[in-house]
Structure 1
C-alpha cells in the first residue's frame, strides 16, 4: 500500500470513528457548469453540468490566515478525501473520481481555491458565499 492509499484509509477511518471526526463529517455536493460545444443549428452553446458528491469536513480559517481580501472572515475551508469524491449521474455515484475546480458551486458556495496535499489524498477547497 502506497502513502496515498494509507493516508486515505486513515482519513476514512477517522471520518467514520465516533470518537474521531464522525460528528463533523457532512455530505458534500458540487456542481460545475461550463459551456458545451457550439451548435450552429441553434446558434447556442448548451451548458454542460457535472455534479459530484462525497463527504468532508467543513471548517473555518484561523484569524492569522484571514487577510480580508484573499481569505475573508466568512470563507469556509473544506477537506475532502479524493478517493470518496465521485461524479454523480441522476443522483447516483459513478465509479469516476471527481476533481473539484475553481468556480464550482460546493454546498451552495463558490470554490475560490482548490488544493491538494503532497500525497494527493485530500482536497482542500476554499468556499465563499
Structure 2
C-alpha cells in the first residue's frame, strides 16, 4: 500500500460506528447477563421465602405434631421442598421461650442464578428467615 492510500484509509469515517459497537457490545451483554442473574436470584429468594412461610404455618397448625421430632421433620420437609430451587439449602428451626418459631434457610446464590457466566454471585450466601408465633 502506498502512503496516500494509508492516509486516505485513516481519514475515512465509514464503519466507525461498527468498530465502536464491536468494542461495547461484549460489555453490554455481560451487564445484561449480570442483571438477568441478579433478577433470577432474587426471584428465587422470594420463592424460598414463600416455602419457608408455608412450612411455618404448617408447623404452627400442627401438621408435624405426630412426628417423634417435629422440628427435625419440618427441616427435612423444607429441604426436600427446596430441592428444585436450591439443592444444598440448609434449614434450621428453633422455638424460643416466648413461643416464637424461627426458621432460617441458607443456600449459595450461585445455585439460583441462570447463567453463572459472570461469577459475581459465586461467594454470596442467601439467608431467608421467617418468624411465627406458636400457640401455647
TM-score strictly above 0.5: no
Q: Which has the higher helix share?
A: 2
TM-score range, shorter-chain basis? under 0.3
Q: Which has the larger radius of gyration?
A: 2
Q: Which has the higher strand share?
A: 1
